Amino acid sequence: MNSKRYESMSYRSCGKSGLKLPLISLGLWQNFGKQDSFDTARSMILTSFDAGITHFDLANNYGPPPGAAERCFGNILMTDLSGYRDELIISTKAGHLMWPGPYGDGGSRKYVLSSLDQSLQRMKLDYVDIFYSHRVDPATPMEETLTALADAVRMGKALYAGISKYPPNLTRKAAEFLRRLNCPFIIHQPRHSMLVRNPDAQTLFEALDELGLGCIVFSPLAQGLLTNKYLNGSIPADSRAGKHNEFLKPEIITPQLVKQLNDLNRIAQGRGQSLSQMAISWLLSDKRITSVVIGASRVEQVQDNLKAINNIEFTGQELSDIDAIVARKSV
Q: In the chain, what's the furthest Cα-to-Cα distance?
A: 54
Residue 191 within any structural domain of the chain: yes
Q: What is the pLDDT of residues 225-275, one digit of tens each?
A: 999 999 997 766 665 554 555 656 778 889 999 999 999 999 999 999 999
Q: What is the pLDDT of residues 118-158, one digit of tens each?
A: 999 999 999 999 999 999 999 999 999 999 999 999 999 99
Rounded to whole angstroms, the Cα distance separating 86 from 126 reads 12
Residue 42 within any structural domain of the chain: yes
Query: Taken in order 267, 269, 275, 278, is the CA torsion positive or negative?
Result: negative
Residue 160 within any structural domain of the chain: yes
Task: Kindly state the percentage of the chain with pLDDT values over 90.
Answer: 92
Q: What is the pLDDT of residues 21-78, one digit of tens each?
A: 999 999 999 999 999 999 999 999 999 999 999 999 999 999 999 999 999 999 999 9
pTM of the model as a whole: 0.95
Listed residue (211, 212, 219) closest to 283, CA to CA: 219
Domain tally for the chain? Answer: 1
Residue 249 within any structural domain of the chain: no
Residue 11 within any structural domain of the chain: yes
Q: Please report, to the nearest 10 degrees, the dihedral formed by the alpha carbons of residues 305, 309, 315, 319 taken in order.
A: 40
Q: 324: exposed, middle or buried (C-beta count within 10 Å: 0-12, 13-18, 19+)?
A: exposed
Mean pLDDT of the chain: 95
Residue 127 within any structural domain of the chain: yes
pLDDT attached to residue 248: 65
Q: What is the pLDDT of residues 282-294, one digit of tens each?
A: 999 999 999 999 9
pLDDT attached to residue 251: 80
Which CATH number does the domain housing residue 303 bear? 3.20.20.100
Q: Which domain holds residue 102?
A: 5-225+281-311
pLDDT attached to residue 234: 72
Residue 238 within any structural domain of the chain: no
Residue 52 within any structural domain of the chain: yes
